[in-house]
């Protein structure tokens, strides 16, 4: 039975007596280890010589370093995998942030458009109402033989404004030309009614 002890060829020994099992190395490996550890090139039978114990110690040291490196490699692989996952999550968050920014921009643009449209509609409606008031005042001034009271004028203006609001409701905030045409038609009707009242008052 064999285990991984840093990549060296190891066989089981007496574990309670030795930190590492007995190491089986051939002469070539002994010579290489001796050259690495002692800086000398021993003869071919160095494996059986006096430096055997030192070479075994070097082999154990190399095995320990090899195992340590393997553990460090596994740790770095785990760290790299975790960093890679965090990087993917960060990329996903960046994309989500960009999508959210676009949605917010759309909402802002839509809100600004609706606000501008509402302001424009309100200005148009106010302009129409002022036009109606002016024209009504002209009709009342020119057609009536007697001055019309302020209260009567306000009541008429209120009535015309209600009619304009009804027109706006029917047209659903749009088609302002239709509203103007309808307003002109109402003004014509008002003028006719005022003229008829003036004629009746003169009779």
Triad 85, 86, 87: Cα angle to 5°:
90
φ/ψ of residue 10, rounded to 5? -115, 150
Distance CA 127, CA 53 (A): 109
- The tokens describing 135, both together, are 């024209």
Q: What is the DSSP string of 89-136?
A: HHHHHHHHHHHHHHHHHHHHHHHHHHHHHHHHHHHHHHHHHHHHHHHH
pLDDT in tens, the chain (203 residues): 444 444 444 433 333 344 444 445 555 665 666 566 555 555 554 444 555 556 666 677 777 787 888 888 888 888 888 888 888 888 888 887 777 777 777 776 766 666 666 666 666 666 666 666 666 666 555 544 444 455 555 566 666 666 666 666 655 555 555 656 666 677 667 666 666 666 666 55
Please state the pTM of the whole predicted model.
Answer: 0.30
């Amino acid at each position: 039975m064999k285990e991984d002890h840093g990549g060296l060829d190891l066989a089981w020994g007496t574990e309670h007596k030795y930190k590492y099992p007995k190491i089986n190395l051939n002469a070539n490996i002994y010579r290489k280890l001796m050259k690495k550890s002692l800086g000398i090139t021993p003869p071919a039978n160095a494996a059986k010589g006096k430096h055997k114990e030192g070479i075994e110690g070097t082999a154990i040291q190399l095995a320990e370093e090899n195992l340590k490196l393997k553990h460090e490699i596994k740790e770095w692989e785990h760290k790299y995998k975790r960093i890679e996952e965090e990087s993917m999550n960060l990329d996903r968050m960046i994309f989500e942030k960009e999508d959210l920014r676009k949605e917010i921009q759309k909402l802002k643009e839509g809100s600004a458009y609706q606000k501008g449209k509402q302001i424009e509609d309100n200005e148009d409606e106010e302009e129409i109402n002022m036009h109606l008031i002016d024209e009504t005042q002209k009709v009342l001034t020119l057609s009536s033989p007697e001055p019309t009271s302020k209260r009567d004028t306000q009541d008429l203006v209120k009535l015309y404004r209600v009619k304009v609001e009804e027109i706006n409701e029917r047209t659903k905030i749009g088609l302002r030309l239709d509203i103007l045409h309808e307003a002109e038609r109402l003004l014509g009707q008002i003028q006719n009614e005022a003229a008829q009242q003036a004629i009746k008052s003169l009779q």
